[in-house]
Structure 1
């Protein structure tokens, strides 16, 4: 395939983005690769030199690893439940002067939460104002915006993206997107990035050496598929309904457990396929007198006693003692939800 992706696929993606999200980019401003991961890696490599500071919040998906790969400086923001684990402009503002890249994701993996319009506008304004202060020869402050789950919002939640909110941020914004999550096609390795042509060109050169092209057959299939707008709408309508039902039923179950006085909590689902849950068992004792010392042991206990596999936020860069988790409904069967909540209740009640 062409290093930047086949022309028919790039044109199909650009048409789709313009019609569905209002983003208007040209064929020199898009790069296709074998999923989102190589594109994120290429963006970090294209933008960051050794020692450049990268601002990212935790929990978040692999920002710590990509910053490590480029030997960048880690400016880590500990996001909190009070803001649904989304970073704010106030969190970011103290660090923009000496930063090269801000990495954001909305809807976010692992939290299933999103930026509100004003939140994202304020962050965009920070970046725009900072770049106005930088001299002509000085490296600018860029924004990497991962919107992999942007179709999958529920209820009154609306997806917002930087360039649609602030046109002046366009020269500094790189989007990451793919078919894998929103179309339940994790085995179809086709992702894309849109952004300023000079950055996209550098990313293309990097991926050419890596060989991270999307397979030809899959490129042709996705180009054809993206033209089937009515079929896509039909699919997404049902897909979103099924995901939302699973997320809300599990969330409701956690609310019941919390109201029963058990040490759990959850944040109402907003988007993606994830529910943010809290299981705060560190320090409690099992029926055989063993103390659960830390979150690693909490995770193991919940898996062995309740049969529930969840991923701790410390796997996404948060503190090791953080009691919050990502629960995915990617393989969840609706008929098993009540049983799962019941098993979790039993496991929690065994502790003292």
Structure 2
């Protein structure tokens, strides 16, 4: 007879909550397997039968394995990939980062983890808007204090400088994302400029007091997937002085529909990137070497990259606009629904005022 042993775990593990959206996606997929008609609009992923990765990238990955690129990658990422990322950022993103200011990891998650571990001490204050993706969990993993900024549909669920003003003197890290997961909306240029100006003013004050700076984590994993006339803005291009205080989250997961390929990167001040590299070596969260070499090969041909982006953006835009128009049509017919026009990424923000309503079946 087996003994019923109460296995104790750490306090961190005891209280941690898994990713809610991944849990919900698993539950929906299980219902689909059981034959229920459910449309899974949960996790930000692609159906590879409809949205495959670029054919050239797929061939390059296969070739890398055929060339036996299967040993450990460099701790900060293969030089070839960091060079390709540097070129991509400069020629398509208006950002100038040298190879020693870039670190490669297995997607955006380990990058965010490393940023938090490199910049946030126990008891520090992390300020982020809601809705947003997983900032609460990374704050918890650092035993830091979360401050949630409630955003509104009137401003597309994007925060403003006025939202952050009460917390500037106490904040240690501000976490922003644009295009925003999960709303598919983006910063207005003026709003992001004003937030940057507040951070710069706060850091000018802290510099005179010899205090740790206020840092900005800027997640732009969807930056290449802007739709229509939407423009993507980043803090460093708008305010070059922000380069000292900004650490980016980026990668190919979304722009190339390569969520399972697991190639992401971060760029920021050299000192911070070096510390992130050290943290990632202990986690072992590298992108596989074969995928790194293949991604480098693919990104060196920006004409192919541009062609793929144009195609995938058209497909995404057609779908999101169709959904948006459909909900607006329902709204005009008197149904209690509304939606925000899609701007970027693969998301549409929809409001269903269904509280107290019943189906035809009761």
- For 2:308 and 2:99, locate their aligned partners in 1 and report how far apart those are by CA, in whole Å: 27
Alignment correspondent of 1:159: 232
Among candidates 298, 313, 317, match of residue 240 of structure 1? 313
Unaligned runs of 5+ in 2: 1-72
- The normalised TM-score by structure 2 is 0.79
Among candidates 224, 231, 249, match of residue 297 of structure 2? 224
- Partner SS, residue 275 of structure 1: coil
- Partner SS, residue 172 of structure 2: strand
Within the alignment, does 1:41 sit opposite 2:113 as a pair?
yes
- For 1:228 and 1:243, locate their aligned partners in 2 and report how far apart those are by CA, in whole Å: 23
Within the alignment, does 1:199 sit opposite 2:272 as a pair?
yes
Alignment correspondent of 1:281: 354
Matches for 1:298-337 after TM superposition, within 5 Å: none
Within the alignment, does 1:131 sit opposite 2:131 as a pair?
no
Task: Number of aligned residue pairs: give it.
Answer: 289
- For 1:257 and 1:229, locate their aligned partners in 2 and report how far apart those are by CA, in whole Å: 41
Among candidates 161, 184, 206, match of residue 112 of structure 1? 184
Larger relative CO (CA 8 A, sep 6+): 1 or 2? 2
Alignment correspondent of 1:190: 263
- For 1:13 and 1:265, locate their aligned partners in 2 and report how far apart those are by CA, in whole Å: 39
- For residues 191-237 of structure 1, give each alpha carbon's deviation from its aligned partner in whole angstroms, at most 9, with x where no partner exists: 00000111111111111100001101000000000011111111111
Post-superposition offset of 1:156: 1.4
- Partner SS, residue 348 of structure 2: strand
- The normalised TM-score by structure 1 is 0.81
- For 1:111 and 1:200, locate their aligned partners in 2 and report how far apart those are by CA, in whole Å: 29
Post-superposition offset of 1:154: 1.3
Alignment correspondent of 1:270: 343
- For 1:199 and 1:136, locate their aligned partners in 2 and report how far apart those are by CA, in whole Å: 21
Within the alignment, does 1:250 sit opposite 2:323 as a pair?
yes
Unaligned runs of 5+ in 1: 290-352
- For residues 100-131 of structure 1, give each alpha carbon's deviation from its aligned partner in whole angstroms, at most 9, with x where no partner exists: 00000000100000001111100100100000
Among candidates 223, 230, 246, match of residue 150 of structure 1? 223
Post-superposition offset of 1:263: 1.3
- For 2:309 and 2:243, locate their aligned partners in 1 and report how far apart those are by CA, in whole Å: 28
